[in-house]
A and B are shown apart, each in its own frame.
Chain A
Amino acid sequence: MTYSSAAISALGALGDPTRRTIFERLAQKPAAVGEIAEAMPVSRPAVSQHLKVLKAAGLVTESTEGARHIYRIDPRGVGAMRDWLDQYLGEALDAFKAFADAQEEQPE
């Protein structure tokens, strides 16, 4: 079973325990950088860096509310999953065609 590169990058982004904790917190509730940093033994710049990685992997999105940057889990983070499924199901259906047509050429 192989994942698309986008899915791999999402998995890789969650490989870091601190990033995983941040992702988990955002899954419970959207939050600003400062709120996340307050609740963790990690500096604010470090949290920002982790968020940047999560965002690049398509796992979280950032929006602006006034002067605050709010991060939340990206429901389209499943985009990588969709791309991968798209390829996966395409391969499966192509395999079905190959099998079915071979059966027709050589009836049992």
Chain B
Amino acid sequence: MIICSQWGLLLLLIAMALLLGVLILPKKDPVLPTRLIRIACISVILSYLCLSICFLSNDFNVSYVLQHSSLLLPWYYKCCAVWGGHEGSILLWMSILSMWTLVLSYQMSALQPDFGLRVLIVLAVILLGLVLFVVFTSNPFTLQFGEVASSGRDLNPLLQDPGFLLHPPMLYLGYVGYAIPFAFAMSALWLGQIDNQALRLLKPWAMLSWCCLTFGITLGSWWAYRELGWGGFWFWDPVENASVMPWLAGTALLHAVIISEKQKTFIAWTIMLAITAFALSLMGTFLVRSGVLTSVHAFAVDPKRGLYILVFLMVMMTWAFVMYISRAHHLFVNKPLYWFSRESGILINNILLFVMMLVVLLGTLYPLIIDGLGLGKISVGAPYFNETLFPIVLLLLLMMGLVIQVKWLKDDYVAVLKRAGLQLLIAFAIAMIWLTLEFHVLKPQVLLALTLSFWVIVSLCFSLYQRWHSPKSLSYWAMWSAHIGFALSIIGITITSTFGVEQDVKMQPKEVVTVKHYQVQFDKEYPLKGPNYHGTEIHFHIKKEGFQSDVYPQKRIYDVGNMVMTDADISYNLWRDIYVALGSPIGNTDWSVRLYYKPMIRWIWLGGILMTLGGGLAFLNYIRLYFGKKVC
């Protein structure tokens, strides 16, 4: 079995040699470099499979396997444990990049040969940087012979969850996906031009990455809610920020690229966004992993790795931005823009998204800057992000509702604004009535946020009504679903964070505590025994007029490593969650318990799913158009 791990390393070395070869080769004929890059990509993917085989066959001679797996771990978690640590997750990142590069290398016929070759070379440079990183600083195939008869140190129990099966690979698919728009942007700058065919091919890639990222973030938020035992959906942890920043830039990108392709303007701006999205993705995966930021997601890393990552990031970004500054003027298009058109509206929202990204970036890096200047160690609290982003999101919603109804090129602003005024009034009435009837409180900020979210929905419904009898394209439904998803998420976030109730209480058996009209009774404590853990389960009885439900939150102690974990249980429906999580035992029979009432928290993830769905439809539409064109 040791052979398998050594094959893994050998394959990486082969990939390294091939990629170096590509860079040295003359850049005239695209055939040979393309072949070499394909073989390198396949080697990296095979190397990842080798590591997976090491995990499945419990090869504890590989020290990475020893540290992140155990004999008791079910097979599907073994497959996930491959990316449970630093080395494996970087290898996963690389194999996804290889996979995307491989797919792209078969679409070369759609691009000009010069352009296509440069795209592949940029991707090869990125891949080479990572292969060097893995081989020299974080080799997952390192052998050890010290702990021979070990049964493994087990995967972190927090990660033993279905949410984790999909969450990291989804995020990585998204992050890495932005490497392709980045490569397009770089070769556009390199050649000083980008043709429409390339922009058309860029669209599905930007969309696919965005979809995966959206779904990954939604999954992550859902996983954190259930698994971390704090009952929150978002904590403004550096890693979460790292995922939301490329999302913001990527959202801007996929709107900008539509205009670039349709109207042949904003090309320099689209290129800028493509570079930014990938820069942030790189930062998302690596800066956080380099150990300079403290976070729930950080791995223990030695300084050598952090330095390599920083240098790699610096080199890539300097390269990109120097290219941009020196050559972007070739791509400027001087085309007049009418102020009341969909283009200008989208441009304004693009700027708003970019500003949001900058605000999050500042909040995330501020502690680093202050620490670097020797001014002390600080942390930026969640209220910073909430307070600054709230007004920007309101503006974003306001514009979104409007832009949906505005035509391309030029529209009659008197008619649209009149209509919009009426719709805003309707949205305001709905928000007001709903708040008063359901929550009996009128808070101005909540009312404002809800009005604007409802406005987006009203506006979408109006646009649907307008087109009721005319045929609707796939891309229309995609737009509809994604924007409705966004509005629903904002409604969910607003309601949960305003009207949620969180109580930490001490409870004894048979005691009843009331949380927001719900009577929660501590019923009985049971011992618990699972495949690789033991612990306690407590039965709670939740009662309200005409409603009752039982929940069984658990406290688990994992056999390997004695790690304690809270497994919350939730009585849920579309309108509210009752969240019960165990704290710790007090005395012989009592427990500290977290009892939360979370209204409409499901809407946040529902919105995320709708956004993903919208992105998926748009992606299908692009693919259909792409292949349609090709056949013709």
Q: Does A pair with B?
A: no
